[in-house]
Structure 1
Amino acid sequence: MNVRQWIVVILMIMLNALDGFDVLSSAFAAPGISAEWGIPRSELGVVLSAELVGMGVGSVLLGGMADRFGRKLSMLGCLLVMAVGMYFAHSAGGVATLTVWRLLTGIGIGGMLAATNAVVAETTSKSSRSIAMALYVIGYPLGGVIGGFAAQMWLLEVYDWRAVFLFGAVVTAVMIPLVALLMPETPAYYAARRPANAVEKINHALRIFGKQLIAQLPEISPTAAKPKVSDILTNPRLRPVTLMLAFGYMFHTITFYFILKWAVKIVADSGFSQPDAASTLTYANIGGAIGGLLFGFLMKRWHIRAPTVAMLALGAVAVTAFGFGQDSLWGWRMTAFFAMFTTNAAIVGFYSAFALGFPAYARATGTGFVLGIGRLGAASSPIIAGLLFDALGNDQLLPVSAIMAMGSVAALILFLLLPLRDADADVGDKPTDPNVPV
C-alpha cells in the first residue's frame, strides 16, 4: 500500500462520513421540524424515512451505473444529486416538499455507497483490506460525530434546523473537485469491462499507485461465456450470497436505524433541550466509530463470520437496554454509545462480506442490490417505530426497543447460514474464462 492508495482510502472515508452526516441531518433537525410544523411522531417517521427510501432506489439503480460507466464518474454524478437535494431541503416549506428533497438526496447517497465500497476493495492489498474496510465503514459514524458537534454547538444554537441541511449541501459540493482530482479509476474496473485502450488505462492507475505495469491482458476465449451483472441472481454460487446478505442486512438496519433516527427525538421528549438531545446522537456515533475500528482488528485475526455474529447478538442486547430509559443526559449518551458500538461493528462485517462475496465485474451491482434491499429495512425502521409508539404509547420505550432489536437477531441467523468465499479467487464459479482478471 503506497501513499496514493491510502489517499484514495481516506477520500472514501470522507465520502462515507459525508453520507453519514447527510443521512443523520434529518435526525438532528427532527425536533425543530416537529416544533415548527406541529406534526405527530408517525408523520415525522415518514420524513425521517424519505432519504432511506431514496438510498434503496439509488443503490439498485445507480450501483449498476458504477459497474457500467466506472466508479469515478458514478460518484461525481451522485455527489451532484446529493448537493442539490440537501440545498433545496433547507428551503422546504412543508412536509411534502421536504420529503421529496430528502428522497432525492437519498438516491444520490445510495449510488455513492455502492461505488465507494467497491473502490476500497479494489485499491487495497489483501493484507490491508480488512483494516481499510473498517476505516471506511467508521467514516459513516464519524460523519455523524462531526455533524453532531456542528449541529449541537453551532448550527442549532445560532440558527435553526434548516442550517443543518444547508451545511450538508456546502460540504457535499466541496467534495466534487476533490474526487475529480485525487481519485483514479480502479484497475479492476478496466480489467473487468475491457474498454478501448484498457491496458493503457490500467497502467495509468498502476503507475499512480506505484505498482508494476502490465504488457497485456489475457485473451478471452471466443467460446467463453461473458460475465453479466445479472450473475448475482442467476449464478447458483452467487445467488445465495446475494439473497442472504441482502435480507440479513435489511433486518439489521431495522435495528441500526432505530437508534440513529429516533434517539434525538426520544431524549428531547424526556425533558432535555434540542442541542443536548442532539449530543446523544453524537456520542452514539463516537461509539459506532470506535466499535467499527476495533472490529477491523477482530476480522484480521478471526476473519468475518464469528466477530459479526457476536456483534449482532450484543447489538440486540444493547438496543433493548436503551429502552430502559435514563434520568441523566450522560446515561442516555452511554446507552446510545454502546448500542452503536455493537451495531456499527456488525455493519463493518456486512460491508466486508460485500467486498469478499462479489467479483469485480459485478461488485458495485451486487453491493448496490444488497444495499437497496437493506434500505427497505432502514426506511421502514423509523416508520415501524413511529407506529409502535402510536399503538403502545409514547412512554412505552422498552417494548418498542425490544421489538426493534429483533432485526439484529434475524440478521444473526442469516449470517450464520451465509456461504462466505472469495469470489475473485473462486474463478470456477464465474461464467468466464479462468484467465480473465477480475
Structure 2
Amino acid sequence: MNEDPRATIAAAPMRTLQIVVVALCIALNALDGFDVLAISFAAPGIAQEWGVDKATLGIVLSMELLGMAAGSVLIGNMADRIGRRPTILACLVVMALGMFAATRADGVTALSVVRFLTGIGIGGMLSSTSAMVAEFSNDKRRGLNVALNIAGYSTGAILGGLLASRLLAETGDWRSVFMLGAIASAAMIPLAFLFLPESIESLIARRPAGALDRVNRTLVRIGHAPVEALPPPPAQALKPSIATLFGSGFARITILLTVAYFAQILFFYYIQKWVPKIVVDMGFDASQAGGVLVAANVGNLAGAVLIGLASQRFALRPLVAGAMLAGFVAIALFGMAGADLTRLSITVAIAAFFINAGVVGMYPLLAQAYPAALRASGTGFVIGIGRGGSALGPVVAGALFASGGSLLLVSLVMGLGGLLAAAMILLLPRETSANIG
C-alpha cells in the first residue's frame, strides 16, 4: 500500500495501541500534576521547619516552574529533533531522581536547585506527551484526547493530594510527599519503555535511518497494513527552531498564544501554589489546607473534561475566552469566602473549573496551529515562555500578601491575567480557531 499512514490514522477509528498510548501519556501527566504540586502540599511544613517567610516561600514555590519553562522550550525542541519516545523516557528519569533528591534537601537553596532541575523534566514531558497524543489520535478524537491528556495533570493532583494529605496527617513530615512522587515516577519508567512507540508523524517528519521499517512496525501493531514507502517530504522542509516559529505564517500565532498562555497560567498557579498557605494562615491545619487544594483540582479536572467534550461540538475560541472571563468573576467569590472551609472549597473549585478550562482549551489549538515538524517545538515554546507566568504568579502574589494585601485584592489582581488571556484568544486569526470545533 502507498496510502499516507498519517491519513490512515486520522480517518480510522482509534485502535487498542493508540488508546494505550493516550492512556499512558495521561498517566505521565498525572505524575506531572502531583510532582508540580508536591511543593504546595509540603509548603506549610517547610515554612515551619526552616522558618521561611512568605516572600521567600514564594520564590521556592516558583523554582520548578522556572525549570518547567526551560524544559518546555529546550526539550520540546529536542523532541522534534530526536523523537518523542526517547525524550519522554529521559524526562521520566529526571523526574524520579529529582523527587528523590528533594527528600534529602537540607535547606532552601538545595531544595530550590532540586526543584528547578525536576521542573526541566516536567516541562519537557508536557510538551512531548502533548505532541504524542495529538499524533496517535484520529481526527474525531484529537481535541478530546489532547484535553484529557492535560486533564491528567489535575487527576494526578487530586489522587496524589488525597494520599499526600493522609501522609502529612500520619507522619507530619513534608519529605514523605516527595518520596511518594519518586516511587510513582520510577514505577512508570518500565511501562513507558515497553508500551510507548515512536510517533509515526515524528518519524516521517525527521526521516532517521530505518524510518520506514519503524513506521511499518508501528502500523502493524496498531492494526493497519504496512506501506511501501514514506510519503514524499514537503517541498520546503521546516527546521524545528525558534526562528521558524517566528517566520512567515507562524509569528502572529506564536506571539498571541504565548501571551495568552503566560497570562492565564499566571492566574492558574496563584491558586495552585498559594491555597494551602492561605488556608493555614486562616487557622486550619496542613491536612485541611490540602483538602481545599484537592477541591480546586476537582474543579480543574471537571473544567478540563468539559471543555474537551465541548471541543467536539462547538468552536473552541469562544469557549476558551468565555471560560477565562468567568474565571475572573469566580476568583472574586473565592476572595470573599472568609475563614470557612466549606465556602473556601466550593468557591476555589468553581474558580479552578473556569481557569483550568481556559488553560486546557489552548492545547487542542496548539496541536492544530503547528505541523508535526514543529508541533513539540511550538507547543514547548508557547508553554515554556508562558510558564514564566507560572513562576511569576506565586512571587507576585507573595509580594502582594507581604505588603498587606487582602485575599480579595490579591485575587483580583492575579485575575487580571485571565482578562488579558481572553483578549489574546479573541485576536487569533480566524482561520486558526476555525479548525478547532
Give the TM-score taking structure 1 as reference length.
0.93
SS of equivalent residue, structure 1 residue 109: helix
State the match for 1:124 in structure 2. 137
State the match for 1:55 in structure 2. 68
State the match for 1:319 in structure 2. 331
2:88/2:125 contact within 8 Å kept = yes
Shift of the alpha carbon at 1:197? 2.2
Which of 422, 426, 430 in structure 2 is aligned with 1:412?
Answer: 422
1:157/1:275 contact within 8 Å kept = no
State the match for 1:191 in structure 2. 204
CA distance in 1: counterparts of 2:128 and 2:334, whole angstroms? 34
1:176-325 matches, within 5 Å, as: 176-220=189-233, 224-230=235-241, 232-325=244-337
SS of equivalent residue, structure 2 residue 239: coil
Shift of the alpha carbon at 1:241? 1.0
Shift of the alpha carbon at 1:193? 0.6
CA distance in 2: counterparts of 1:420 and 1:106, whole angstroms? 34
Shift of the alpha carbon at 1:324? 1.0
Cα distance change on mapping 1:282 and 1:106 into 2, 3 Å: same
SS of equivalent residue, structure 1 residue 301: coil
1:85/1:105 contact within 8 Å kept = yes
User: Is 1:399 equivalent to 2:409 in the alignment?
Assistant: yes
Paired residue total? 420
CA distance in 2: counterparts of 1:267 and 1:6, whole angstroms? 39
CA distance in 1: counterparts of 2:285 and 2:211, whole angstroms? 57
Which of 50, 59, 66 in structure 1 is aligned with 2:79?
Answer: 66
Q: Deviations over 1:358-381 (max 9, x none)?
A: 100011011111111111000000
Cα distance change on mapping 1:208 and 1:400 into 2, 3 Å: same
Which of 359, 379, 382 in structure 2 is aligned with 1:347?
Answer: 359
Shift of the alpha carbon at 1:422? 6.2
CA distance in 1: counterparts of 2:342 and 2:212, whole angstroms? 57
1:11/1:179 contact within 8 Å kept = yes
CA distance in 2: counterparts of 1:232 and 1:246, whole angstroms? 15
Q: Deviations over 1:183-206 (max 9, x none)?
A: 110100011011122221111111
CA distance in 1: counterparts of 2:49 and 2:356, whole angstroms? 32
Report the AA paired with residue 119 of structure 2.
G
Report the AA paired with residue 99 of structure 2.
M
Shift of the alpha carbon at 1:234? 3.7
CA distance in 2: counterparts of 1:422 and 1:27, whole angstroms? 36
State the match for 1:435 in structure 2. none
Q: Deviations over 1:370-412 (max 9, x none)?
A: 111111000000000000111234xx11111000000010000
Q: Deviations over 1:207-235 (max 9, x none)?
A: 111123221123348xx332111364343
Shift of the alpha carbon at 1:4? 1.3
Give the TM-score taking structure 2 as reference length.
0.93
Structure 2: state its 5+ residue gaps.
Answer: 1-13
User: Is 1:25 equivalent to 2:38 in the alignment?
Assistant: yes
User: Is 1:362 equivalent to 2:374 in the alignment?
Assistant: yes
**Overall identity of the aligned pairs, in %:** 45
CA distance in 1: counterparts of 2:232 and 2:132, whole angstroms? 25
CA distance in 2: counterparts of 1:420 and 1:128, whole angstroms? 22
Q: Deviations over 1:101-127 (max 9, x none)?
A: 000110110111110000010000010
TM-align CA RMSD: 1.5
State the match for 2:5 in structure 1. none
CA distance in 2: counterparts of 1:95 and 1:154, whole angstroms? 22
User: Is 1:82 equivalent to 2:92 in the alignment?
Assistant: no
State the match for 1:434 in structure 2. none
1:81/1:105 contact within 8 Å kept = yes
Which of 391, 411, 414 in structure 2 is aligned with 1:379?
Answer: 391
Q: Deviations over 1:143-163 (max 9, x none)?
A: 110111001123442241011
Which of 134, 137, 141 in structure 1 is aligned with 2:147?
Answer: 134
Misfit runs of 4+, over 4 Å: 420-423
SS of equivalent residue, structure 1 residue 302: coil
2:87/2:124 contact within 8 Å kept = yes
User: Is 1:168 equivalent to 2:189 in the alignment?
Assistant: no
1:232/1:242 contact within 8 Å kept = no
CA distance in 1: counterparts of 2:166 and 2:246, whole angstroms? 51
